[in-house]
Each structure stands twice: as C-alpha cells, then as structure tokens.
C-alpha cells in the first residue's frame, strides 16, 4: 500500500468511480508529479500496464494542454478522454495531482458524471493541502 494516498481516500475514490460507471470501471490510478498508486484494478484484468510511463505522459500532457489553451474561448480545461481499441482512459487532474480511470464503453453522460464527482474530491483534497 502506498503512502501517497491514505486507504480511506483510496476507498472513497473507488466508491465515487464505481457509482459513476459501475462495472465498466477497469482501473483507477491516483498520481502526483513524482509518484502514483494504482487504487483499483478489476479482477478480470492483469497488471501489465507500464504505469510509470502512463503517469509521465499524462502529467506532461496535462501541463502542455493547460498551458496551450489557457485564456482561450473554450474556457478552463476540465478532463481528457482517450479512446483505445479495448476501452477508454479518462484523465482528471488538478494542479499537483490527479487520477486516470480506465473504463469499458460508457456514455458521454457517464464520463461527465465520473469527471464531476472525481473533480469534486480532488478539489477538496487540494484545499486541504
């Protein structure tokens, strides 16, 4: 178990994500700029992803996206959805930390519910830091 995120907080994240997307939740990883912890992995999946590379890419991409679109007519960055052959990756990030969630096929409404609920928790944690 990682010291990055207390067990109670990990359980809260899993509950929020499972409430939003149900059994379509594949995995959930919490990350900061320097560390990460895989909080959830659905039992029918194998731990084979190179999470360290994922984190580096997602962190770098978040900063580039945030900087590139700052002040645009599109408004503030909210979250990213990546589409893959076998599922989706959703990155939800606040200034110094975030999560990426992988799912099976879900609706845009489910993505929005997932992002809203997860962002609310991350924002609370950002205030507490």
- Domain presence at residue 63: yes
Number of structural domains in the chain: 1
- The contacts found for 52-60 with CB under 8 angstroms, 24 or more apart, are 54/29, 54/100, 55/29, 55/31, 58/31, 58/91, 58/93, 58/98, 58/100, 59/31, 59/33, 59/93
- Domain presence at residue 20: yes
Render pLDDT for 55-110 as a digit per residue (tens, 0 to 9).
777 766 766 777 777 788 888 888 889 899 989 999 998 878 889 899 998 889 99
Domain holding 109, by residue range, is 7-127
- Domain presence at residue 2: no
In whole numbers, what is the pLDDT of the chain averaged over residues?
Answer: 85
- Domain presence at residue 1: no
Inter-residue contact 102 to 21 (CB < 8 Å): no
Share of the chain above pLDDT 90, in %: 40
- Domain presence at residue 57: yes
Q: Residue 112's domain is classified under what CATH number?
A: 3.30.450.30
The pLDDT, as a whole number, for residue 22 is: 93
**Cα atoms in the Cβ-side hemisphere of radius 13 Å centred on 39:** 28
- Domain presence at residue 36: yes
17 membership: H or E segment, kind and range: helix 7-21
């Amino acid at each position: 178990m990682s010291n990055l995120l207390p067990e109670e907080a990990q359980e809260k994240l899993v509950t929020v994500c499972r409430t939003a997307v149900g059994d379509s939740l594949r995995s959930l990883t919490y990350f900061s700029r320097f560390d990460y912890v895989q909080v959830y992995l659905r039992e029918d999946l194998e731990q084979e992803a190179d999470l360290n590379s994922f984190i580096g890419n997602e962190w770098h991409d978040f900063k580039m996206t945030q900087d590139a679109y700052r002040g645009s007519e599109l408004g503030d960055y909210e979250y990213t959805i990546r589409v893959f052959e076998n599922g989706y990756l959703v990155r939800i990030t606040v200034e110094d930390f975030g999560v990426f969630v992988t799912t099976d096929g879900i609706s845009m409404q489910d993505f929005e519910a997932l992002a809203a609920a997860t962002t609310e928790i991350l924002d609370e944690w950002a205030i507490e830091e």
